Amino acid sequence: MNSNIKNRDEIEDRYKWNLGAMYKSLEEVKQDMAKVQELLEQFKSYGGRLDNRETILEALLLQDQCDQLMEKCYTFAHMRLDQDNTNTESLALFDQVKTLYVFYSETFSFFIPELMKLDYAHLQSYGQEEKFQDYRHFIKEIGRNKEHILSESEERILSSFGELAGAPKSIFQILNNADLKFGTVTNEKNEPLELTHGRYQLFMQSGSRKVRQAAYNELYRVYTSFKNTIAQTLGNSVKKDCLWARLRKHNSALEASLFADNVSVSVYQQLIQAVHNNIGYLHKYIDFRRQVMKLPELHMYDLYVPLVTELNKEYSYEEAVETMYQGLSHLGETYLQDLKQGLENGWVDVFENKGKTSGAYSTGAYGSHPYILLNFNHTMNDVFTLAHEAGHAMHTYYSHRNQPYRNASYTIFLAEVASTLNENLLIHYLLGQTTQPKEKLFLLNYNLEQYRTTVYRQTMFAEFEKMIHERVEQGGSLTPDSLCEMYYDLNKFYYQGVVLDDEIAMEWARIPHFYNAFYVYKYATGFSAAVALANQILSGEPEARARYLEFLSSGGKDYPLELLKKAGVNMETPQPVEECLRTFGQRLEMAIQVPH
């Protein structure tokens, strides 16, 4: 493995994505940006004129045309910057696109409120006409939202408070990312290193328990010293959520948040209950972890250590791709051929280069093929990352290919299903291939940690969010002590078998997601749906694969729960979460049987 990071021009073209498939030159992008401005000026003329079907249809078609071009410009600009953040041309282009995006958002701001004012029965009748068929779901959404939209003057007032409403989140981000300074931690080589958020994750995976404990204690020492300030920011964020829900005539902040996806509160409650019913599997996993680590007792800082350190096995990118194809063979020849065609024709940016954005993601604009950014480093984890991002890319590819623009985008609620299903299929394949105990335990540990951190941990977060919002809605207050007490008690239930140091009571203070309320539950439901769908496909259930491929092609043409039902998973019952956690139990039994 070459430790020297190359300049971008030193990497072979076959390992770079082909942005030329979107735009051949910066001049072409700028032409489209100028076209967006022209279309926005045209769109302004529809203000106050949305009073008949022909004008409304014209406005919808013009908005789609403008949206597609804006999305294409934005996607290209951020990818061009991500491939090399030091490129001044790319920086300038992205700044220009962001400025245009502000103008674009302002221009369209009148559109939905004006449609909301119309007689909904008339709008519904338009939706029955063939020329409006691509807009039926959009029209249905207007009707569903109507009772929660205020008068024009009230909406303007609410909108003007937008920046203030976001203050708790922005204050926390500045405090957490800029102002909080942690001390130093001495690593395994006896070197003092400054503790940062990124290094904390690395320290938690250290083979040295002394290093893990020192990092853990230092991190929470600093958060504890700011507990009054952070309790105020989180408390005010929760109050804002509750106030906004009340103003928009929802029964609770939870109901208001779930409304966007047309998800009932019972889905959220059933997730928590199903996890409670299957908490024994987590406790058994904790005991298994303690035994493998040969520790008399387990502390919270022992939970992230890999039970098997990264295998010495290295994968070339080509080997990783071939391994992924084998793992995804259950999805059928058409899926594999479409994916192969993409990977061989400029979808993927494979290796790290100087200035390249870290991590991995998949993105795409309607009318262009999807793209995948990787920083491939030849490990088993990188093979899983490739499969994960390929899942996102194929979901985008099929949805864009089969849906009109207005219905092509799938919601966040569904976003992790395709990616996680691919990882499940790959794990199943690799476990069937390996005969080496160390490799088998590595794979199982990787998978078990996915369940622990995505289903159990995110559900615990979701339960905490529910508790703190209910406390405010019932007239209570959120003090540092009450937040710590609630959070500590949850950990006591979820992590039975772990020695709970006092520090864990402060973990709520460092979770950014709590400022984007009732979001994290989607990780747990998405993961559970993916496991259920993967199990159906692997069992050879007739039609399971066809239903799943139809799901990938559905974009956002219906509400997420309805699309999942058609795929074969009903998230309105506890069954998928129960099945997911039973699968966790089965994988745990497999791990227990591996010699270690």
Residue 255 lies in a domain: yes
DSSP assignment letter at 396: H
Helix (H) or strand (E) holding 101: helix 88-108
Reply yes or no on whether the pLDDT at 2 is more than 60: no
Query: Which is nearest to 444 in space by CA: 593, 318, 551, 296?
Result: 593
Average pLDDT for 474-491: 98
How far is the C-alpha of 365 from the C-alpha of 68, rounded, in Å? 8
The pLDDT of residue 309 is 79
How far, CA to CA in Å, does 246 sit from each of 154, 194, 264, 417, 586? Answer: 14, 45, 17, 32, 44
408 plus 497 within the same structural domain: yes
- Regarding whether 143 and 100 lie in a shared domain, the answer is yes
pLDDT at 426 (0 to 100): 98
**Is residue 27 included in any domain, yes or no?**
yes
Mean pLDDT of 7-30: 97
In the set 389, 423, 463, 465, the catalytic residue is 389
Asked if 130 and 167 sit in the same domain, the reply is no
Q: Considering the domain boundaries, does residue 39 fall inside one?
A: yes
For residues 285 and 417, membership in a common domain is answered with: yes
Tokens for 369, please give them: 């093929």
Is-contact 406 400, C-beta < 8 A? no
Instruction: Report the CATH number that the domain containing residue 453 is assigned in CATH.
Output: 1.10.1370.20
Q: Do 131 and 166 belong to one domain?
A: no
Both structure tokens of 305: 């250590």
pLDDT confidence of residue 4: 74
> Domain range spanning residue 127?
11-161
What percentage of the chain carries pLDDT values higher than 90? 91
Q: Per the domain annotation, does 207 fall within a domain?
A: no
Last residue of a domain, which of 110, 134, 161?
A: 161
User: Mean of the pLDDT values across residues 364-386?
Assistant: 96
Q: Do 279 and 297 lie in a common domain? A: yes
CA 296 to chain centre: 36
SS3 348: strand
365 within 8 A of 71, measured Cβ to Cβ:
yes
Same domain, 115 and 75: yes
pLDDT reported for residue 178: 86
Q: Is 193 among the domain residues? A: no
Q: Helices 120-127 and 53-83: crossing angle, nearest 10°?
A: 70
Helices (H), 477-540: 480-494, 521-538
The whole-angstrom separation of Cα 314 and Cα 379 is 5
The pLDDT-based confidence of 26 (bands split at 50, 70, 90) is: very high
pLDDT in tens, 252-296: 999 999 999 999 999 999 999 999 999 999 999 999 999 999 999
Residue 1 has pLDDT above 80, yes or no: no
Residues 246 and 134 in one domain: no
Q: Let me know if residue 374 belongs to a domain.
A: no
Residue 347 lies in a domain: no
The DSSP line for 221-288 is HHHHHTHHHHHHHHHHHHHHHHHHHHHTT-SSHHHHHHHTTT--HHHHHHHHHHHHHTHHHHHHHHHH
With beta carbons less than 8 A apart as the criterion, state whether 403 and 375 touch.
Answer: no
Whole-model pTM: value is: 0.93
pLDDT in tens, 339-357: 999 999 999 999 999 999 9
Q: In the predicted model, what is the mean pLDDT of residues 561-589?
A: 97
Do 26 and 121 belong together in one domain?
yes
Same domain, 559 and 450: yes
Q: Is 389 a catalytic residue?
A: yes
Does residue 427 form part of some domain?
Answer: yes
CA atoms within 13 A on the CB side of 176: 21
Neighbours of 542 (CB within 10 A): 8
d(CA 301, CA 305): 8
Token code pair at residue 117: 């004012």
pLDDT digits (tens, 9 = 90+) for 414-448: 999 999 999 999 999 999 999 999 999 999 999 99
167 and 108, same domain (yes or no) = no
Q: Please identify, among 133, 161, 189, the residue that sits at the C-terminal boundary of a domain.
A: 161
Cα–Cα distance between 556 and 411 in angstroms, integer? 7
CA distance 545 to 183: 52
Residues 94 and 34 both lie in one domain: yes
Into how many domains does the chain fold? 2
* 122-171 pLDDT per residue, tens: 999 999 999 999 999 999 999 999 999 888 788 878 878 878 888 999 99
